[in-house]
Structure 1
Amino acid sequence: MKTLRRFIHREALVAVSFVTAGFLALFFFFDLVDELRWVGKTGADGYQLSHALLFVVLSIPSHLYELLPITVLIGTIFVMARLAQSSEFTIMRTSGLGPWKALRTLLTLGGFFVVLTFAVGDYIAPLSDKAAQLVKAKYLGRLTTGATGAWLKEKQDDRSYAVNVRALTPDGGMLGVRIFEFDAKGRLASQTRAASGKFGADGTWDLEKVERSSFQHQGDDGARVEHLQAPSLQWATRISADMVSASVLKPDRMATLDLFQYVRHLDANGQSAQRYEIEFWRKVFYPLSCLVMVVLALPFAYLHFRSGGIAGYVFGGVMAGISFFLLNNVFGYAGNLQQWSPWLTAAAPGLIYSVLSLAAFGWLVLRR
């Protein structure tokens, strides 16, 4: 039985690797074509073809994380259908490979892909994506999001702060920092503007070229304004560099632990964390979808056909994989708009495909 398991695992690994390489090559081509529009826009010393190639290469782990469940499904379907077409799986069944043993064999394979998907999505992809963004920022100027940059909020004792960072620099600094301080009654206590800033090692921000306006409220008679200009100023805060990066970068590119900490920060400061909670639970459930995919592929080994190609079945696998990817995104957007439960929104696509795979397994495998 070990020989049969090793044979199935080897064939499936080869097929999944081949399919994954094909999809990554396709994404590499499309990304490179998209990046060519930036080449040469910042002069001879700016963003060049070599930088575009480096950016596209560093984007590969993110695509690998997104593609693995789909390529696992397509590759496993191809192997199972080919074994059924050549009657090899029939011989395996007569040799003692029953439905439950076949299911355990594929679940073991799926467990390997679960670990691989988690490792890529939690460790490799966040680092490579951050490096890719810094490469682009270094040669194109800066890294920002939207027209106003990143907004964050923090509470310190009876004071609350609204912080705006317009952009991040390639060396990890900040540009266009604005800090709005509010007192216990919600009145504006001070406004600080800094041309640039850096994250200090002791939980402070080192601001440069600072303009500060302090408002001394005097009952109903208005407020007295004091202005201060300084070449530098330190501001104590619990807002870290990772939190600012999280506001600028896409949440689906963050590690699971970073997402969890950022969600706690948003909840502690009374900010909406729905989008990031959904992304957190998606990071938790997404690797497990590899198990669902291998179960969905198993019934293809029990189909009876002796002539003709298996292209139709592989095409069906491609459509199933694409539909899972689309359903996963649709549920994410709908859950964010309709304020659905974050964990249920993230788990729903996997649950739906689990039901479909178990139904197919029960109908085509156990009842036949």
Structure 2
Amino acid sequence: MTTPAAAAVLPPLALGRHQVWPPVVLAPMAGITNVAFRTLCREQGGGLYVCEMITTRALVERNPRTMRMVAFDGDERPRSLQLYGVDPEVTAAAVRMVVEEDLADHIDLNFGCPVPKVTRKGGGSALPWRRRLFARIVRAAVAAAAPAGVPVTVKMRKGIDDDHLTYVEAGLAAQDAGVAAVALHGRTAAQRYSGTADWDAIATLKQALDVPVLGNGDIWEADDALRMVAHTGADGVVVGRGCLGRPWLFADLAAAFAGRPDRALPTLGEVATTMRRHAELLVEWLESERDGCTDFRKHVAWYLKGFPVGSELRRSLAMIESLMELDDLLGKLEGDAPFPVELLGQPRGRTNSPGKVFLPDGWLDSRDDDMVPEGAELADSGG
């Protein structure tokens, strides 16, 4: 068992001119990692907080919803933006736009999304199979970002399935193209979010590359991050589902990487305060109390997981339309109820079953075909 002090020797994560400490990255999650949620998490501890996935075509075409999604708080540094693209030319145009209009300080390229609407277009976790197309996209992004010194990273999965693994070859290609770091989710696209993440694959990639490697998958608690780093030699961690309804996880991670044993175990009353803050930030960002409260509803179950809250009260909280209504309902919670420690280390968010990966016709036939699939570029953002 690794002690917190064992991981404290990690240096800051170097991404170009940016030094990230602790070496922790909030993974982009559709409908979750907006300005409000990132602010809430940043209030807990340091790290790199990535916005929702932005499609290159939607950005270049200045889709109104997409332009709203690339907004950052004034004190958010470095500003981290994840791009999804399948066409090297469109990707380059999007990166140039980010650079010329100073939209972000760091760009991450998405090659890990397993969602069918993405993979059936040849994008996300399907794309590294077409190794020449993958390399062209990464090189185009790095070249477009280079004049402004904006670092580019890639995030990917192990491969399409166990018979079509690509992560080592793709990692080496990304490194050759000039990326600042590579993040690996230790699952295949076919696994989706099922089973357990393969940390051995992260260790293998770390041994193969010279650039920093970040590990992603099954980090439910801060001590999981320490164990991952000890097991894999990774230079940092990427956290996704583990922070849903638990933004204080970033305070735990900051403590863990500083070698401190303290961990947050908020009472239900303290969780209620965080919930109110989250809803308030959403209202402020969306400039609409109703829209902010509606967006907050999906977070209620995550926040209350394991706490003694009746089904009727849970249902009412998940249907709020105003902050006043939220305040009234939060006041009915048992504020001194202790944190349900029996849930520590348990999965959160999506835990679906393995499934078929939808791919373009003939996608697996040739690894060296670098043609862009017809209609591959998505017109909207968010995954």
Q: TM-score, normalised by structure 2?
A: 0.19
Q: Point out the structure with the larger helix share.
A: 1
Q: Point out the structure with the larger strand share.
A: 1
